[in-house]
Structure 1
Amino acid sequence: MARIICQQLAPQIADLAGNRRLSVEAIRAAVQGGADVVVLPELVTSGYVFESREEAASVAITPSHRLFAEWALAAARGPSVVVGGFCERGADGLLYNSAAMVDGSGVRAVYRKTHLWAREKLVFEPGAGAPPVLDTQVGRLGVLVCYDLEFPEMTRTLALMGADLIVVPTNWPLLERPPAERPPEVIIAMAAARTNRVFVACCDRVGVERGQEWTAGTAIIDQSGWVISTTCEAGPATADVDLALARRKGWSDLNDVLGDRRPELYSALSAKQTGSAQPPLTVSDRTASLSEGPARTG
């Protein structure tokens, strides 16, 4: 069995030192709680609602930053694997909304968010690499960041690459929804888990940042698509799971969620389409539309 702990936190905008302490303390607490996998929110080192690219650059770090050495030291006491978001300064000088996978040996992998939401496009460059799947002491972990989760091609790709658990650091702005309904992002994660027969762990954030409220929608989802742990407060969501169950892809003796695919019929999925006859928005169009209200999701 593997224990997953998602640490739902409230990072502060552009406070690298304070967020370093917050994240390290959260990892230590999770490891003390027996975590094999610790998940932190998107951009936990920097906050999310940047006023400008320059503000983001002031707290951008590289994977060699000492913060990750502290994460690794805390993870080694488990031993645990930590996945958390950070504002990355690339070797090309550009900024990326990234997630690091860290264990006691250091940074194992860095994934740059592929699908940027709303104002992120004014700050970050989209990642150009496929999401990683790494073998760990508890199973095969794949990584996405927030809005990536809403593209079924991404979760299916990770399932085809052998992921047992898809780990998703998120920042989900609060949306109105009908009473008793789950956040739509959680419903998407449930569908991804069920259609791919994989576990999914989404770690959201709490607090209010420059007027933006957050969903606090952290959820750990089993391979059948059911939420098995969640929290609406700052603190952990915890679940003990058998990740080996994600390698059983059959719904019946005659059905297999990957084996039943018909890839020869899906060629349209590789074609880039806007979904309408309207031209895509320019940066100035996006900026104007963003002034009308908060982002839907990160």
Structure 2
Amino acid sequence: MTPLRIALYQGPEGSGTPERNLGLLDEAARDAVSRGARLLVCPEMFLSGYIIGEETDRLAEPADGPSFRRAAEIAAEHGIALVYGYPERDGDAVYNAVNVLAADGSRLTGYRKTHLFGDYDNKHFAPGATALAQADIDGVRVGVLVCYDVEFPENVRKHALNGTELLVVPTGLMRPYEIVPRTIVPARAFENQLYLAYANRCGAEGDLEYTGLSCLVGPDGIERARAGCGEELIAADVDPQFLKASRAANTYLADRRPELY
């Protein structure tokens, strides 16, 4: 079981446009591959920006829309799997969504944020109705949540019980909630015995200041890579052998007594 090197892109600063952000995706993919990564994870609402107000409706695209087609070209050109956030249109509804692409550009799965945070999310997005989205990438079972979703322990436990080995969480976390990447994310990884990749935005957008602090945390609760507060790409390994040994030593999942809960 060969380790899977993944890269997390913390950026961009500001909203930009889908065209500009797809250009940044191309650059990040090239950088990630140069570091040996086979999976690149980008933040929540990466393609359009997050705090874009009424532009959300105009910029929303189907899951297989023009931005997906360009992202698929980038994945295939660089030979790297991609995870990125975007506003997804489905009929009259718009979702805070994520696409997961294989290294050949094919779409493996998608996910819609299920737990909407605050007035902004609830005004501009419909909540997703499917809790579990997973895909196999280079032999690793990858699951997806978005930002606020990871702060609900039930969400992460559902992934752990359904075989997720690497949980990727595109995020747009703002100050003053640094407790999430510093404390909650490592705790979720440890109590559920999985790797957790938390890819946040950075800088300021609208009246929000993002925390940055993107990270990859192992099943031992120890960070394998940690970003600062600015635009940055970090990379580290997900090691299936280490995960197997960690699960054997830390038997939270086997020791559960669900009949009591």
Please report the TM-score for the alignment, with normalisation by the length of structure 2: 0.91
Q: Within the alignment, does 1:7 sit opposite 2:5 as a pair?
A: no
Report the equivalent of 1:196.
Answer: 192
The 3 A distance-change label for structure 1 pair 240 and 78 is: farther
Distance 1:170 1:64, change over 3 A: same
**Structure 1 position 69, deviation (Å):** 2.6
Aligned length: 254
Distance 1:72 1:168 in 2: 20
Of 224, 240, 245, the match for 1:243: 240
Distance 2:9 2:87 in 1: 18
Q: Residues 87-236 of structure 1 correspond to what in structure 2 (within 5 A)?
A: 87-90=87-90, 92-103=91-102, 104-118=104-118, 119-175=120-176, 183-186=178-181, 187-232=183-228, 233-236=230-233
Go from structure 1 to structure 2 and tell me whether the alpha carbon gap of 1:69 and 1:110 turns closer, same or farther (over 3 Å shift): same
Q: For the Cα contact (< 8 Å) 2:60–2:94, is it kept in 1?
A: yes
> 1:35: Cα distance to partner?
0.9
Amino acid at match of 1:63: A
Paired residues of 2:13 and 2:204 also in contact (CA < 8 A): no
Report what 1:76 is aligned to.
76
Residues 9 and 235 in structure 1, CA contact (< 8 A), matched pair in contact too: yes
The root-mean-square deviation of aligned C-alpha atoms, in Å, is 1.7
Question: 1:204 and 1:155, CA in 2 relative to 1: closer, same or farther beyond 3 A?
Answer: same
Deviation at 1:11, TM superposition (A): 5.2
More helix, by proportion: 2
Structure index of larger Rg: 1
Runs of 4+ in 1 over 4 A off after TM superposition: none
User: 1:200 & 1:95 partners in 2: Cα distance?
Assistant: 27
1:152 partner letter: P
Q: 3-state DSSP class of the match of 1:140?
A: strand
The answer on whether the counterparts of 1:251 and 1:257 sit within 8 Å (CA) in structure 2 is no
Report if aligned partners of 1:40, 1:169 keep a CA contact under 8 Å in 2: yes
SS at the partner of 2:198? strand
1:258 is paired with a residue of what secondary structure? helix
Shift of 1:77: 4.7
State the distance in 1 between where 2:140 and 2:198 align. Answer: 17
Structure with greater contact order relative to length (CA < 8 Å, sep ≥ 6)? 2
Change (3 A) 1:34 1:121: same
Residue of 251, 256, 260 corresponding to 1:261:
256
From 3, 19, 23, give the equivalent of 2:21. 19
Q: Helix, strand or coil: the match of 2:142?
A: strand
User: Which residues of structure 2 form unaligned runs of 5+?
Assistant: none
Q: Match of 1:66, as an amino acid?
A: P
Return 204-213 or 192-201, whichever deviates more.
204-213
In 2, Cα distance between equivalents of 1:77 and 1:16: 19
Asked if 1:57 corresponds to 2:53, the answer is no
Q: 1:14 to 1:236 in 2, by over 3 A?
A: closer
- Segment drifting more, 128-137 vs 138-147: 128-137
Structure 1 CA distance, aligned partners of 2:122 and 2:83? 23
CA distance in 2, matches of 1:101, 1:27: 14
The one-letter code matched in structure 1 to 2:254 is G
Structure 1 CA distance for aligned equivalents of residues 67 and 139 of structure 2? 24
